[in-house]
Structure 1
Amino acid sequence: MTLPAPTRSLGGLTVSALGLGCMGMSQSYGTADRSESLATIHRALDLGVTLLDTSDVYGSGHNEELVGEAIAGRRDEVQLATKFAISRDERGRMRIDGRPENVRACAEASLRRLGVDVIDLYYQHRVDAKVPIEDTVGAMAELVQEGKVRHLGLSEASAASIRRAVAVHPIAALQSEWSLWTRDLEGGGAGGESVLGVAREHGIGIVPFSPLGRGFLTGAITSPDDFDDDDFRKNQPRFQGEAFQANLLLVEAVRELATEKGVSPGQLALAWVMAQGEDVVPIPGTKRRSYLEENAGATAVQLTADDLARLDAIAPPGAAEGSRYPDSGYTYGDSPERAA
């Protein structure tokens, strides 16, 4: 039975205050155990963590199939989010396709893999700079009209793209990276507008991915050697060389405050993200029940004004050393210079 748990609203969609990112069950974070992954999703629902986040590109469809298997018989307990637009070629290079015909093809395929009739929250995973976002969102809106999708979302979109998208159809959620060491969302973009400010102007909920700094803010990673060979973090600039060592100092400061409060560093980091507003619903990813249970405990952590001030001093915007990705194409698909 699902336990009572705090909820929040993403543009009119009521979801659990904390979600579960499922990507690592299929790719990027080393080998995953299928039975443990399924058990983790089941445990999430038991704990009231009912916003499940996946994408058609995670494991090339494997992740959607896994999530679909896990929620069979429990569909009414779940707010199901998935994404489209990214694929990879034979060399692993990312391609973005926002053409209307691709929107429909991807949605139909996702519905089949998930084994459901409707997707609660359907995101464009990255904005396609070659296709007017009005055309992409228009095709997504048709899915809403047909009852195949309930709410629309964007991921890593610029302020300009958000404004153009909402002129076509309401956007319920913006999924972007946001954590104590990734605060780009708060800063001014093209024209001095912050993505966060524009999203809130239009009543769009915020869904931070990697709210634990890809696991770094938990304090469990102390050396680049901690990563498996197939863990994508090995190639990220923030986890290499001098940047890694500099970022460890930030993590240690977070750990000290967490110890004072009697919580884990990860719980403190998640509590900070949730304290940024009632419209914020982070989706920490994990493939293990033990980490899920620790993350879920963050919803009970109360931060004082002094705690928040200390964390802002520890990790102000731009505090992290190194870029988020080795390839800038993985960040904003419509960066200011491409969004006009």
Structure 2
Amino acid sequence: MNAVLLGYGTVGKGVEILCKNVEGIHLKQVFVLPEFENLPYFSNDGKGMVTADDVDIVFECLSGTEPANTLITLALKHGKHVITSNKATVSPNLERYVEIAERTGGSIQIEASVAGGIPFLDAILKLQKLEEIRGYQGIFNGTSNYILDQMQKNGMELSVALKQAQSMGYAEADPTNDIEGIDVFYKTNITNMLAYNTKNDAIRKPIGITKLNTEDIKMAKANDKVIRHISLSKQKDGEFASIIAPAFLDKGHYLANVPDNYNAQLIYADSFDYLGYFGQGAGQLATAQAMLANAIDTLENRERKICLNHEKKVNESILKADWIVRAKKGLKADKEQSITENESYYWFEQKDATIIDTIQAFDADAMIALWV
């Protein structure tokens, strides 16, 4: 099969490297901006590349939504097998991509868009065909996990840990998507659609890690807790809910001991209670490996078909949890512990995510986290 590659950044170069090891896949051309000198291997004619008659597979490794969305759509309309790592594009457009692929005989494969080299979505797609997935939780962003791990182990301020993450290549120059939870929001939205076999429905915006400080780390340690940034999701009676937030986890929790920039997930279903995954959630070869795994499935005519047959709705009341909040004095809660003259910790028991609205209306700068 002939393939073209859209994007020649870190992941794109990884795809190029691994393609050389796969018999039956020939990487024909690479789309780049600006145009490279040594044509015809490099080209800035993305539309021409994805519509060429002799191209079967399109690897999409661009950042952001455009021109990625335009080129993915065009490729699918021409019956191509599109393999992408671009969660920012997949999250809002997956339903439309699936519909186009069904009409034209192409396919959209997205293993690398969530959890990098961990075969998490592959497991979701397999299990979903066998039984109802009750829910999942996980660490989906290596940058945030690295920062929190350094704060926990070495007592660093968040800003210092962030600079260290940037120096090691774990964080971008603009880390907003990572530390504000936007990256995890995209991944959670994608996972919900696949796990619950549903079309897109808006989930609550994420709580990132930017409000956490060293006092919160001390509070966690005093209670034998470890802080991690997690996505928590549940399905019940045709409805679902998700929370993306920091979590004070018991030290024995599966996710509490995930170090550095690693990711980990738990999937819940009746037949096995829970199933755990751990590994590199990002990086050049880890992400490229997931894309090549999809390509091999295509080569062998066993790619996973994505079905979004239902229109399940978000109902936040089905997912209740305990919460810890650091906010100014005067917040009504189940428990309060004074920190300073102006600030306290507060605990709320078994509240759904609408409690976030109440807290933020009282104190927009409050630190809000799960207490697990």
The alignment's TM-score, normalised by the length of structure 1, stands at 0.35
The structure carrying a bigger strand percent of its residues is 2
The alignment's TM-score, normalised by the length of structure 2, stands at 0.32
Please identify the structure whose Cα radius of gyration is greater: 2
Higher relative contact order (CA 8 A, sep 6+): 1
